[in-house]
Amino acid sequence: MKLAPPKKIAEYRKKGWWGDDTFYDVFLRAATKQPQALAAIDPPDREALTGHAPRRLVWADLADEVERTAAALADQGLVKGDRVVMQMPNVVDTLSIYLACAKLGIILSPVPVQYSGHELRHAMSSVRPSAFIVSKMFKDRELARGCKAVAGDRAKVLSMDGGGEGLVDFSEAIKRANTRKGPFGLGGSATRQKGEADDCFTICWTSGTTGVPKGVPRSHNHWLAIGPATYHGMAIEPHDVLLNPFPMTNMAAIGGMFVSWLLSEGTLVLHHPFDLPVFLQQLVTEKVTATIAPPAVLTMLLKQEGLLDQFDLSRLRVIGSGSAPLSEFMVTGWKKRGVEIVNLFGSNEGISLCSGPEDVPDSSLRATAFPRFGHRHANFSNPMHARLATKLVSIETGKEITAPGEDGELLVRGPSVFEGYWASTAADLKEVFDADGYFRTGDLFQISPDDENFLLFRGRAKDIIIRGGVNISAAELDTLLEGHPKLAEAAVFGMPDDVMGERIWVAAVPKEGETITLEEIIAFLKSKEIANFKLPEQMILVEALPRNPLNKVLRWRLVEMAKEKQA
């Protein structure tokens, strides 16, 4: 399934921005060069997460597992173009599944382990998968049983680490995969490569500013085109040891760490859900050279006097951070410890701004400013400068902004940018892209008054809450709360927080004669089987929701109202 039109494919290939490589091709080259080098490392707490001991695989052993996984998928009747929903934690098996699907041309739709029935039903109805691949357990949750309840008889459920109750024991299927057609690993395979670089490879999910998550289809070329932004911006070196604490379901993990690992031919250390003691332990024991982390965590580590002095971080050179504004205190504080902080601004749709030490050597400036990629008067070393076109437009008039100091919506175009949301109509595409093919990001920037070659992040036009680096749709929760029998109306909003970046608050307007508690709201949302990380943590009662003339809820005003009540 090709995503981009032939004209765009031809243009980007001619410019050298797209090519013939799939993830599988890049992986196989790396494995062939260094079969006995360490490739991937499980989280040390894997046994607590999935019930199985952590593993450490060299490239040759990982290649063998990839081939066996591909054969097992084929044995289940899955073929090129089939769609598979994957709900897996960050373990080495997840890498094998990605690479096996890349080889066979299977379209993989990864969803967070926190997803429950509500979100899984939406994914099921949207992509209509032929199968689910899922960890049987995650901590105390039976993920495979949850997927089976959603899939019914409409899709197979391939359960890692155990079967039964209508589940396919996929771990066992991988072990006994048919080898009659040839050897495995670097020497050959029982399956032929079917995936191509322009094929749809993944369907990840946005936070859904319109009320439900949207699928974001991306080809191998879309993903590999974004790799240089992080690889160059973070100054990744060959054979680096990369620690990934973000779920393998989104841009940070896939475009940032997964692709950088393949390009560096180094070692990928896996981690998630975020556990600070384990994270710090891994930095030391695995001699990590580069990682990514939410800004709130990095700030907290600096503020805890003496904590970092207990750990030998001498091998750590660089940390990528983003998803929320960075503070000058945090960026300069890590610089004093010999660690560069790189300011990353990305999305599943393909935004790829990167403020790294080579293009922005001033660490104070790097906290707030991004290179204005594509600006004709600028001169930046990051390859995305030549590949990504950016512009700002007025929210009110839609006209392009060329003067410094005026807020406008960021629009981007280039080889890393997707072609439109899953199952988009022509009318949908007109909302997502402008007439020149620029993606409307919904994020507000301005041209820096100090230097027109830089962009300053100003806020989000979208109603997204970023809690601990995880994007949460306020609109989705609003829609669910419309069904609460005691509420006249309600709106969820993000409340600034020093630790998590933002906390989830809800403003509630009870119906006349009714009373409502936070516990009742949480119980109602739990009955809808939403993921626990989306549940509100605080509530304010208001007489009416503040709205603009177009009847849109003013969430910024709710933040002010909550602060007033706190005072």
State residue 470's pLDDT score. Answer: 81
* Residue labelled with tokens 């990095």: 298
In sequence order, the 6+-apart residues with CB closer than 8 A to the CB of 129 are 82, 83, 84, 85, 109, 123, 151, 155
State residue 458's pLDDT score. Answer: 81
Structure tokens at 560: 């002010």
DSSP state at residue 256: I
With CA atoms as reference, report the closest residue to 73 among 191, 204, 203, 199: 191
CATH for the 464-566 domain, from 3.20.19.10, 3.40.50.2300, 3.30.300.30, 3.40.50.720: 3.30.300.30
HSE, CB side, 13 Å, CA atoms: give it for residue 194: 20
With CA atoms as reference, report the closest residue to 119 among 256, 249, 272, 252: 249
Per run of 10 residues, the mean pLDDT along the chain (length 567 residues) is 96 98 97 97 97 97 95 95 98 98 98 94 96 96 96 97 90 84 58 92 80 90 94 97 96 96 98 94 98 89 87 97 83 95 95 95 92 93 96 90 93 98 93 96 93 88 79 84 91 91 95 96 95 96 82 85 92
What is the reported pTM?
A: 0.87
User: What confidence tens digit (pLDDT) does each residue in 114-154 have?
Assistant: 999 999 999 999 999 999 999 999 999 999 999 999 999 99
C-alpha distances out from residue 411 to 2, 104, 371, Å: 24, 34, 14
Cα(553)–Cα(557) distance, integer angstroms? 9
List helix spans (H) across 486-554.
518-527
On whether the CB atoms of residues 361 and 349 are closer than 8 A, the answer is: no
Fold type of domain 221-462: Rossmann fold (3.40.50)
Domain 21-36+50-195 has CATH 3.40.50.980: yes
Q: What are phi and psi of 501, to 5 degrees?
A: 90, -60
Return residue ranges of the chain for CATH 3.40.50.12780.
221-462
Label the pairing between strands 215-219 and 241-244. Answer: unpaired
